[in-house]
């Protein structure tokens, strides 16, 4: 094998590896997008299906206007961020910037923090701004694993 043949072979291998690597990356990104979309769609469906059970109508509760494009987007299934509009010992109602309400289920696994302190569900008040990390339930709620109260602006 001449030097030229070796070099050409190396170049072909290099290009093939790069193309193959790119294909894998593209497919991985596509899969991640599909998975994320599916999870959001599923959660949004469950939320919608259980809306009347999860939320009571009244002051502070607002259905997203039908014509609002944002209201039509699927909801995040694993997290929530927004203002507390209702709270009791086991449930938190959050309203996000998109005006969509989410029901957050507080379990004994849930860690609630304000600053460096760990607090209880009773310390959460309406109009507190929170960010929540959790797991979606089959009833359209998010089971909170971590609730962090953000500093007031």
Partner 1 sequence: MPKFSNLFEETVYLAVKDSRLVTPSATLADRVLFAIERKKRFYASVKLAIYSLVTITSSIGLAVVWRIEGSAIINSEAIQLLSLLFSDFSIVASYWQDYAFSLLESLPVVSIIVVASFAWAACASLWMAARTYKTFNHRAVVRV
Write out the residues near partner 1 by the rule CB under 8 A: 32, 35-36, 39-40, 76-81, 96-97, 111, 113, 131, 133-135, 145-146, 148, 150
Q: Closer CB to partner 1, residue 4 or residue 97?
A: 97
Decide whether 54 or 76 has the Cβ nearer to partner 1.
76
Minimum distance of partner 1 from residue 43's CB (angstroms): 9
Q: How far apart are CA 71 and CA 98, in angstroms?
A: 7
Least Cβ distance, residue 142 to partner 1 (angstroms)? 10
b/e sequence 25-58, b meaning 16+ C-beta within 10 Å: eeeeeeeeeeeeeeebeebbebbeebeeebbeee
Separation of alpha carbons 107 and 130, rounded Å? 17
Q: Which is nearer to partner 1, 7 or 123 (CB)?
A: 123
């Amino acid at each position: 094998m001449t030097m030229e043949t070796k070099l050409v072979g190396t170049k072909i291998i290099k290009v093939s590896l790069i193309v193959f690597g790119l294909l894998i990356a593209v497919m991985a990104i596509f899969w991640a997008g599909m998975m994320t979309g599916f999870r959001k769609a599923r959660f949004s469906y469950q939320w919608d299906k259980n809306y009347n059970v999860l939320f009571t109508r009244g002051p502070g509760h607002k259905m997203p206007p039908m014509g609002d494009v944002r209201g039509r987007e699927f909801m995040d299934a694993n997290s929530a961020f927004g203002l507390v509009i209702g709270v009791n010992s086991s449930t938190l109602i959050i309203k996000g910037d998109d005006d969509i309400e989410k029901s957050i289920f507080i379990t004994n696994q849930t860690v609630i923090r304000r600053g460096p302190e760990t607090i209880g569900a009773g310390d959460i008040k309406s109009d507190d701004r929170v960010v929540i990390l959790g797991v979606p339930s089959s009833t359209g709620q998010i089971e909170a694993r971590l609730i962090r109260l953000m500093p007031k602006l």
